[in-house]
């Protein structure tokens, strides 16, 4: 039951896959930590762009690598999604929860406690745990009337996890508790 609980907690923040963040430092344990806090989103628009509310417009913006910010508010909860290339970041309020999804890693945190897992391990766990939402599913959800999307200038630092958060590697934790991550057939 504890194993299942750990796996379910892992997927609470999972959204999709993205590209890796570039700027990291190596620490004594060999684990990567980032240099700085994510930079705020610049509200300047790259070009005159109207709100991107249709799936076609949103998909077109994302296909062309344009950064997109989507905000959804439901039942007092606000979720803000940032897309840039295949990178995705999610911030929620009033619950202080965040997630960054790159092609290499999935990071999720609240306060200064977080978890991370290799995206390859998430793919391997695919049949054993709830499915994460794909990039295309997130784009499709942005079509709903409760979500407003627009093209904005987004710094690459938005997709770098904060250095003041201690991220526990869930893949390593699952291995430690005896829940082996299945190997892909070759």
Locate 37 and state its tokens: 């806090």
- Per DSSP bridges, beta strands 24-26 and 68-74 are unpaired
Q: What is the pLDDT of residue 137?
A: 67
Q: What is the pLDDT of residue 159?
A: 95
* CB proximity list for 5: less than 8 A, separation 6 or greater: none
Q: What is the pLDDT of residue 4?
A: 30
Q: What is the pLDDT of residues 66-118, one digit of tens each?
A: 899 989 888 899 999 999 988 899 999 999 999 999 889 999 999 999 999 99
Could you tell me the residue ranges of all domains in the chain?
2-176
Q: What is the pLDDT of residue 148?
A: 84
Locate 51 and state its tokens: 């709100």
Q: What is the dihedral of CA 39, 43, 45, 51, to 10 degrees?
A: 120
pLDDT (tens place) for every residue of the chain, 186 residues total: 333 333 333 333 333 333 333 333 444 444 444 444 455 555 444 443 444 455 556 677 777 778 999 898 888 999 999 999 888 999 999 999 999 998 899 999 999 999 999 988 877 776 554 455 666 666 666 556 677 888 899 999 999 999 999 999 998 887 777 665 555 555
Q: What is the pLDDT of residue 162?
A: 95
Residue 174: strand, helix, or coil: helix
Q: What is the pLDDT of residue 26?
A: 41
Q: What is the pLDDT of residue 20?
A: 39
Instruction: Please name which of 39, 24, 13, 18 lies closest in space to residue 113, comparing C-alpha atoms.
Output: 13
Q: What is the pLDDT of residue 114?
A: 96
Q: What is the pLDDT of residue 61?
A: 77
| Helix or strand (DSSP H, E) at 93 | strand 87-93
Q: What is the pLDDT of residue 178?
A: 63
Q: In this structure, are residues 91 and 37 in contact, taking their beta carbons and an 8 Å threshold?
A: no
């Amino acid at each position: 039951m504890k194993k299942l609980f750990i796996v379910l907690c892992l997927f609470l923040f999972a959204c999709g896959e993205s590209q890796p963040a570039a700027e990291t430092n190596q620490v004594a344990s060999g684990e990567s930590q980032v240099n700085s806090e994510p930079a705020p989103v610049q509200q300047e628009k790259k070009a005159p762009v109207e709100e991107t509310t249709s799936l076609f417009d949103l998909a077109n913006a994302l296909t062309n690598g344009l950064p997109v910010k989507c905000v959804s508010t439901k039942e007092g909860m606000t979720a803000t999604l940032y897309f840039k290339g295949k990178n995705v970041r999610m911030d929620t309020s009033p619950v202080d929860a965040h997630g960054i999804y790159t092609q290499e890693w999935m990071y999720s945190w609240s306060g200064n406690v977080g978890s991370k897992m290799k995206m390859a391990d998430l793919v391997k766990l695919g049949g054993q745990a709830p499915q994460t939402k794909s990039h295309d599913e997130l784009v499709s959800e942005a079509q709903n009337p409760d979500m407003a999307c627009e093209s904005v200038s987004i710094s690459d630092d938005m997709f770098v996890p904060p250095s003041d958060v201690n991220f526990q590697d869930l893949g390593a934790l699952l291995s430690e508790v005896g829940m082996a991550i299945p190997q892909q057939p070759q």
